[in-house]
Structure formats: C-alpha cells, structure tokens
Amino acid sequence: MRQFRPLVFVLLVVLAFGAVVAASASARKATPGITPSNVLFTDKSGVSVFAGGSVVSGSKVECATSESTGGFLTSLTGTFDLLFLGCLVKITSVLYLCTGSNDKVSSSILVLGTFVLRYREPTPSTKTVAAFLITPVKFECVASGSPNKTIEVMGCAAGEVTPVNKAVVTGEHFTVFMTKSASADRNEITKIETETGSTEETCQLLANENGGTFKEAAEGTTDEIVGNVSSAEIQA
C-alpha cells in the first residue's frame, strides 16, 4: 500500500534543511588565521608587473622573478622581505634597468613590510586575502644617454590566497593571486574586510614618478608560498 507523508512533515524537513544551510553559511571564523601560528615561509614567483597612471610615462615595470622570506608573528599577521630581480621598463624604444635605492645588484628591488590575513568579502564568503603593507620604497630606472626616472611606491596590495580550510603538507604550497584591474591602473582587490568583519577598509597601492603626486598603481604577480612545517592550514 502506498504511503503519503503528511504535508506538515515535509515542511518541517524543508525548514530544518534551510536552518542547517544557514548555520553552515554563517559558521566562518571571526577572522581567517593560520595554524600553527608561527609558520616561517619562503616563496617564489614568475614575472611580476608593476603599473601606475604616473609611473614611468605610463609604461610597465616588469621583474623577471622574485623571491621572499618571512613569517607569521601571530595567526593572522607577519613580516616579509621580498626581492624582485631582473627589473626593467621599456619607454618608447629605450630600455631602462630599475634598481632599488638601497640595492647593490643592478635591476633588483628589495621591498619590506608586514602582512595580514583578512576576508575578501562579507559573510558568508570565506575567500581570504593576504594584504601586504609596504614600507615606502624608492627605485631608479636608468638608461645610457637618457634622464633617470625615480619611482616611489607605498601603500597596500592584496591578493586572494588559496587553499583555505585545507591542510598544506610538505611538497605543496599556498598560492597568492595578485591581479591588476582590467579597466584601471589599480589592483583588482582594493577593499578588504576589517579585522572585526564589521565593515570594509581600503587596501590601495600608490606610486609617484620623480617626486610627483602619488596615484593609484597596480602589481600583478602569482606567489607560491612554502611553509617550514610538515602541515599548515589557513582556517576561515
């Protein structure tokens, strides 16, 4: 004999399922953080591209590669030491080599600063970003027979980090994707959640050329970050 479930039972099941989904969607942590909280790391990237509305006459500074060391001081904050290598820019037909003001090796630029882990978007998203707070840095682009170009960079640059809520073990890495906006000389991510998650704050990279006005700028790169532990996880 065929049995029919009472309508009220079906409604209760639907409501219960909805409650479970809602609870799961809102179950993210107050702020993303890594465990263990004292991970040291090295990272490497391929080509890094730097651009800005006023930087070297609108041309792009390209660095062939970069390498970095750093570490977490807490579960969501840390420091970094990033060395760009093979940095140059082509203006019309002239090729300039760009070197940091404190660097000894031609076409290298050392960038120092701190970083934080934050959510990219409001609840319920668990997309996580690494936001790099850059100590102001100057570099000079030089070409024989042409006037030098001095560029200063400061501010904040953020990229989405993956994976989250998944352990990264020996032989694997976290990846930070930092991309330029398709429509403007700025990074795709310029707003991130505050530490409390109650509102958004600005994360904006700025640059000037030859001491001029600071304007929005962008950095595009993909970093592969390797921890010094057998297993680490960014929990969100």
Helices (H), 34-105: none
Query: Tell me: the pLDDT tens digits for 48-88?
Result: 999 876 666 678 999 999 999 999 999 999 999 999 999 99
pLDDT class of 18 with cuts at 50, 70, 90: very low
In DSSP terms, which residues pair with 83 in a beta bridge?
67, 110
CA distance 201 to 223: 24
CA distance 41 to 161: 14
pTM of the model: 0.85
Q: Is the pLDDT of residue 15 over 50?
A: no
Q: Which residue has the higher pLDDT, 91 or 71?
A: 71
pLDDT score recorded for residue 198: 82
Q: Cα-atom radius of gyration of the chain, to the nearest Å?
A: 22
Q: Is the pLDDT of residue 229 over 80?
A: yes
pLDDT score recorded for residue 183: 85
- Pull the structure tokens for residue 193: 């959640």
pLDDT score recorded for residue 3: 43
Percentage helix, strand, coil for the chain under 3-state DSSP, each rounded to 5: 10, 55, 35
pLDDT score recorded for residue 226: 97
How many whole angstroms from its chain centre is CA 177?
6
Among candidate residues 42, 84, 44, 93, the one with its CA nearest the CA of residue 62: 84
Q: Is the pLDDT of residue 6 over 50?
A: no
Q: Is the pLDDT of residue 232 over 90?
A: yes
Q: Which residue has the higher pLDDT, 28 or 79?
A: 79
Cβ-in-10-Å burial (0-12, 13-18, 19+) of 192 comes to buried
Mean of pLDDT values over 168-191: 94
Q: Which residue has the higher pLDDT, 27 or 7?
A: 27
| CATH number for region 28-235 | 2.40.160
Highest average pLDDT, of 13-17, 39-43, 53-57, 59-63, comes from: 39-43
9 vs 15, 16, 18, 23, 69, CA distance in Å?
10, 11, 14, 21, 58
CA distance 100 to 108: 6
How many whole angstroms from its chain centre is CA 21?
30
Q: Kindly state the DSSP code that residue 161 receives in the 8-state scheme.
A: E
pLDDT class of 1 with cuts at 50, 70, 90: very low
Mean of pLDDT values over 33-47: 96
